[in-house]
Structure 1
């Protein structure tokens, strides 16, 4: 009975537990700022390393343009980038390809960078719809999932479950390890201390592994959300009584107004949505 109660409580606190790992909750201000600055630097390093590899490949092919040669020289002049690029040259092609995968786990906009790797990995899927179409999925998430095809919605739910699994392991092992430390502080029998200490150390050592697994599992989650946005926009527009415009620029303007209408109190400027409304049936 107690386990069921704890499970229900943790499920209710799911968003809070995620926010702690993402760096949004219970983080001191200075630590938050340091984490954001560090993650921005890591993102910049990954971009520079990938650019150096691309430019060096073009240099070897003899197709390097003058402006690209200047960019390559500038990056080589940076001691940090030059040192990291030197390590990349001795890596295999598969290892170098992993750099692009790591860079893809960051949001496009630097202002959206979070202080943790998991926070950035989740933030990149949250900003996808807004960056491409100005469709803020955080505002119209329920409408979007309600209008999207069932197969796409199940993919999103399944991908989210994988991340939830590793996050639950992380917190569960952390709680058990902490309780083991508490028990050790009250135990005086030598024969009981050793196995309890080993168990607590092993569980604590697994926490970074589960964290890395959760970050990697967000790749499938991000792909599912990308499909949800790309394939669910048209059904969402139709269910709201709108027709997708012919141009991408007009579509971005339409979703901006739709999300603003959902997020803010009504204003007369919302009447601009009338030109996107579908014609009523005869």
Structure 2
């Protein structure tokens, strides 16, 4: 095969790759391949790196060299693509049950439990300080300017205080209290805390999604994807793609950092070069946590908007109110389990719709009519 035809076939291979694979797999893989190529070009595998070598070597690449680079990226992407679920699980904190894993799990879970306790304590302290301070301010205003507070409820008096010169100090206390409250909301219940931020972000919503309707989101998510409207599914896939891309970037950046440490372990200060991909891995991980919030919000929205379509697809009786919906869903969740906890489940299906004449159809002609 000649060089031009090989290069052309390699450069056009992206046209046959799906959008998900192209973004989630190819871009992170391309970063890893380019980082590895830079290490090789600088001579880091053989001794101290020489950054001035990179420019001439990269500038001498031909179309065939670029094609080989893309082919290596494609190969790396194909290798990493099936590992997406495993990579997400690892970043969530599912590390197994070995002795070493137990040690790390205890350390990280203890850390996050302390963060929750500290946030709760800070919130209590800030609330107490705010209440004491606003009480003093209200007493001062009642003595100096009683007309400002006359005839107002307690909440209205507080809002009035926040619009005075005292609002600067009190506003800062309120903002700090909201930040502490937000920090506690990012965690699930204490007995369900995971060892990582991403794990806690996903676990929190796994325990909440659909509970107001009596639905188990983990059990019914595949069903909703099949029955939801196309634009809802696309919205869900876009948010999931953002999270998967961030997870993949985090993992390949950690691989790049490990590669740099391996190359420059004995090269003195050059070892600090590994901080660059490590910093990118940290940023990608925090992006994955933010994307997880967006993804779980999308799942919640899809459930809210498509749950009646879900009931109809299962031929279940449509509930008349939320109380009946929760009661019916309790049985429905048991029915969807492979092995119900309480034995066989009896659920009434809705009656099939009867055939009715279409709207606007002409009535039958009476006998004898000309």
Please give the TM-score of this superposition, normalised by the length of structure 2: 0.58
Tell me: CA distance 1:199–1:37, structure 2 relative to 1, closer, same or farther (3 Å): closer
* Cα distance between partner residues in 2 of 1:90 and 1:194: 50
Corresponding pairs, count:
247
**Structure 2 residue 259 is matched with structure 1 residue 169:** no
Q: Is the 8 A contact 1:128 1:226 kept in 2?
A: no
Q: How far apart are residue 268 of structure 1 and its match? A: 5.9
**Structure 2 residue 121 is matched with structure 1 residue 40:** no
Q: How far apart are residue 23 of structure 1 and its match? A: 0.8
Show structure 1 runs of 5+ residues with no match. 63-87, 188-192
**Structure 2 residue 352 is matched with structure 1 residue 280:** yes
* Cα distance between partner residues in 2 of 1:122 and 1:180: 31
- Higher-Rg structure is 2
Q: How far apart are residue 218 of structure 1 and its match? A: 2.0
Q: Helix, strand or coil for the counterpart of 1:129?
A: coil
Please give the TM-score of this superposition, normalised by the length of structure 1: 0.75
* Cα distance between partner residues in 2 of 1:195 and 1:44: 40
Greater shift, 120-129 or 93-102, is seen at: 93-102
Q: Is the 8 A contact 2:215 2:330 kept in 1?
A: yes
- From 257, 263, 267, the equivalent of 2:337 is 263
Q: Is the 8 A contact 2:317 2:350 kept in 1?
A: yes
User: What are the within-5 Å matches in structure 2 for residues 1-282 of structure 1?
Assistant: 1-26=71-96, 28-54=101-127, 56-58=129-131, 60=133, 91=172, 94=175, 96-107=177-188, 109-185=189-265, 193=267, 197-265=271-339, 269-271=344-346, 273-274=347-348, 277-282=349-354
Q: How far apart are residue 226 of structure 1 and its match? A: 1.4
Tell me: CA distance 1:97–1:138, structure 2 relative to 1, closer, same or farther (3 Å): same
Question: More helix by proportion, 1 or 2?
Answer: 1
Greater shift, 33-42 or 45-54, is seen at: 45-54
Aligned residue number for residue 81 of structure 1: none
* Cα distance between partner residues in 2 of 1:34 and 1:138: 28
* Cα distance between partner residues in 2 of 1:138 and 1:242: 20
- CA RMSD, 1 decimal: 3.0
* Cα distance between partner residues in 1 of 2:320 and 2:75: 52
Q: Helix, strand or coil for the counterpart of 2:254?
A: helix
Q: Residue by residue, what CA displacement relative to the aligned partner does 1:106-129 show, whole Å, maximum 9, x if unpaired?
A: 22x333321111101111222223
Greater shift, 31-40 or 92-101, is seen at: 92-101
